[in-house]
Structure 1
């Protein structure tokens, strides 16, 4: 295993990361124009800010990273502090939606085989192809896996068409979880509870972190027009956007004001589901923003009145952290997995039954009619979140855990 070495007066570790990362976030650590061009051209965005933030915090605190990921095309980049080994994702239809994950995992496994000897640890994220590939080396060095979703729940709520592809992910998840020498991490008590009840594993909890650049320093200035923001990387039953739209329609009907902005890759006018929403008159004063670069989200949060996550289930919910540290009043589901934990059971945000549009409407209306109440809760939530979920705190928790197995 790699020896610890001194970097900027701190003890640094050599960490392998196996995950789909937005490699463009690593541009500040690349100096060669050719390397930057590769990253910009072949990056395969992952929509997972929690992982990107963790990786950047490792680099920020002087640790060496060797990242094994996937991209639109295979490429390698080496710098003194970070190395990127990207393999082309298997994309042949329809195999990619079936056992394509196993093919990608095999490519990742082969990619890593001669690149681990000088590392202290290897850390995979999610219990699918990345963890499956890493599991082959669990006797070579300490291998960690952060459980970031509940595979069985997702399969349960998927459409019959998507269930077919999810079966293969479920198989991969079950194989990974059974590995006795892999060290698992839960990103919330909700995830840890699932691991204990379903997988019979007691595992430590390390929450997601919030980027320092997202933390607002001044006061949140509320817009003149009442504006709600919702961010989601998918548009399935679990994300429950339809209930939010129905609640917003009730609000508009009663108060005749307000705008709802939907941010994320699914929210484009050409999408078939969006077209059906329009036919049902659910898009009155709804702005479809679509996918944004992660840092661009800040301007939308800074110009909204309320942030809301109507998800029926989340194993964490990073968008909640992001809205709270911008001092925006935040609403989430009282029965939505880890959401109550992130919102400190109502101390850092507002909880309601998001399965019922009427309850969402009533909560939105309450904050609309009581702006002082909304602002006070937002200020309290801000103090709580920055004290527990900052980059440096969560980064150090990972380092401390790694060291217990060295």
Structure 2
């Protein structure tokens, strides 16, 4: 059985011999790479389909049981309805066929997969209509239109959380199964046994948008500094680099004291910062899942998230695996972070509870098994790996 996986893929964290070679920059999403690694570890042959703006011609890379097919992406794809990108990827899928395709996100990657006629399951990691309502611009309109085509044509859908599922219409729900996101088994191997907590809290967010709500995070930290004058605030992710939108806002509001604007960083470096942080503050107003919170739970870094921020309350077990706050109120966020910094017993309790809840509900072993069982159901037969599953997980550098 050869399983195809289509979506944004971080090539440098794939479990293959080429991770240290010169690789083109791709539209990266770590979860897709972790899923590919999990399939390889279980003995499946995998063909991954992704794209890049850095290549002039389609590229195919192979290592062991993994083949990566990289198609082209041209500038400003939304203006062309992603038609070039969809067709270029479709051709790659036909030239390098898999028995079955798992497509991440309901956009161009899934559209290309559906055009091949191969059995395809499309994973929904957001709800395009909700995003369009919150960010009503032409790009999100195009994304919603592609999502409409994909969801209408797909026979099998996965929602990454009950929150995502509950936002779907009745017809879409009828062909959708809920399977949560997961953290990779290798994440615990990345934990440093000698790590020590630094005197900082951290927020990891991709974008300085109304949805990510970094403004209120900065205001909450300014309140925290009155109680903890030596505490620092690390901002990591797109738009949080020096000179970026987050710093521009902070300077205008006189909120830069103690703030380090770190911007985008490699996955492993971000995880180390999370492990060494006192608290992960997640001021986002809405999340379909919340992967960074899950990673913090595995790292035993207590978290503070929004009590009405999409799936976040469920992910934090309604306050039992992390504290919940009103993200519209900087005072509320500052209060909850301050509780963790001031109460060592509470801190240790939540660190342990967060890890336990993550392990029992969102581990690779639990979630990937659900995927494979569902794929077997879709295909009407058992999925047979090409090699025996190794006794020990392969280490991802």
Normalising to structure 1: TM-score of the pair?
Answer: 0.87
Could you tell me which residue of structure 1 aligns to residue 375 of structure 2?
Answer: 402
Q: Are the structure 2 counterparts of residues 99 and 396 from structure 1 closer, same or farther at C-alpha, using a change threshold of 3 Å?
A: same
* 1:44 is aligned to 2:30: no
Could you tell me which residue of structure 1 aligns to residue 65 of structure 2?
Answer: 81
Could you tell me which residue of structure 2 aligns to residue 19 of structure 1?
Answer: 7
Mapped partners of 2:79, 2:226: distance in 1: 45
Could you tell me which residue of structure 1 aligns to residue 131 of structure 2?
Answer: 154
Checking the alignment, whether the CA contact within 8 Å between 1:263 and 1:289 is kept in structure 2 is: yes
RMSD: 2.1
Checking the alignment, whether the CA contact within 8 Å between 1:187 and 1:315 is kept in structure 2 is: yes
Mapped partners of 2:282, 2:121: distance in 1: 29
Checking the alignment, whether the CA contact within 8 Å between 1:188 and 1:341 is kept in structure 2 is: no
* 1:277 is aligned to 2:258: no
1:385 to 358, 368, 387: 358
Residue aligned with 2:284, SS: coil
1:319-338 matches, within 5 Å, as 319-338=292-311
Give the C-alpha shift of residue 327 in structure 1: 0.6
Could you tell me which residue of structure 2 aligns to residue 126 of structure 1?
Answer: 105
Checking the alignment, whether the CA contact within 8 Å between 1:196 and 1:202 is kept in structure 2 is: no
Could you tell me which residue of structure 2 aligns to residue 110 of structure 1?
Answer: 91
Greater relative contact order, per chain length (Cα 8 Å cut-off, separation 6+): 2
Residue aligned with 1:41, SS: coil
More displaced stretch, 74-83 vs 51-60: 74-83
Checking the alignment, whether the CA contact within 8 Å between 2:239 and 2:246 is kept in structure 1 is: no
Mapped partners of 1:295, 1:208: distance in 2: 19
Could you tell me which residue of structure 2 aligns to residue 173 of structure 1?
Answer: 147
What is the total number of aligned residue pairs between the two structures?
Answer: 374
Give the C-alpha shift of residue 219 in structure 1: 8.5
Could you tell me which residue of structure 2 aligns to residue 194 of structure 1?
Answer: 167
Give the C-alpha shift of residue 67 in structure 1: 1.0
Normalising to structure 2: TM-score of the pair?
Answer: 0.88
Checking the alignment, whether the CA contact within 8 Å between 2:6 and 2:102 is kept in structure 1 is: yes
Could you tell me which residue of structure 2 aligns to residue 135 of structure 1?
Answer: 114
Could you tell me which residue of structure 2 aligns to residue 64 of structure 1?
Answer: 45
Give the C-alpha shift of residue 43 in structure 1: 2.7
Mapped partners of 2:249, 2:329: distance in 1: 20
Q: Which runs of 5+ in 1 are unaligned?
A: 1-12
Mapped partners of 1:399, 1:122: distance in 2: 12
* 1:222 is aligned to 2:197: yes
Moved over 3 A (4+): 196-202, 216-223
Mapped partners of 1:248, 1:220: distance in 2: 24
Could you tell me which residue of structure 2 aligns to residue 29 of structure 1?
Answer: 16
Give the C-alpha shift of residue 17 in structure 1: 1.1
Could you tell me which residue of structure 2 aligns to residue 10 of structure 1?
Answer: none
Give the C-alpha shift of residue 52 in structure 1: 1.8
Give the C-alpha shift of residue 182 in structure 1: 2.6
Mapped partners of 1:21, 1:154: distance in 2: 22
Mapped partners of 1:389, 1:326: distance in 2: 14
Checking the alignment, whether the CA contact within 8 Å between 1:106 and 1:133 is kept in structure 2 is: yes
Residue aligned with 2:176, SS: coil
More displaced stretch, 170-179 vs 268-277: 268-277
Q: Are the structure 2 counterparts of residues 78 and 213 from structure 1 closer, same or farther at C-alpha, using a change threshold of 3 Å?
A: closer
Checking the alignment, whether the CA contact within 8 Å between 2:212 and 2:286 is kept in structure 1 is: yes
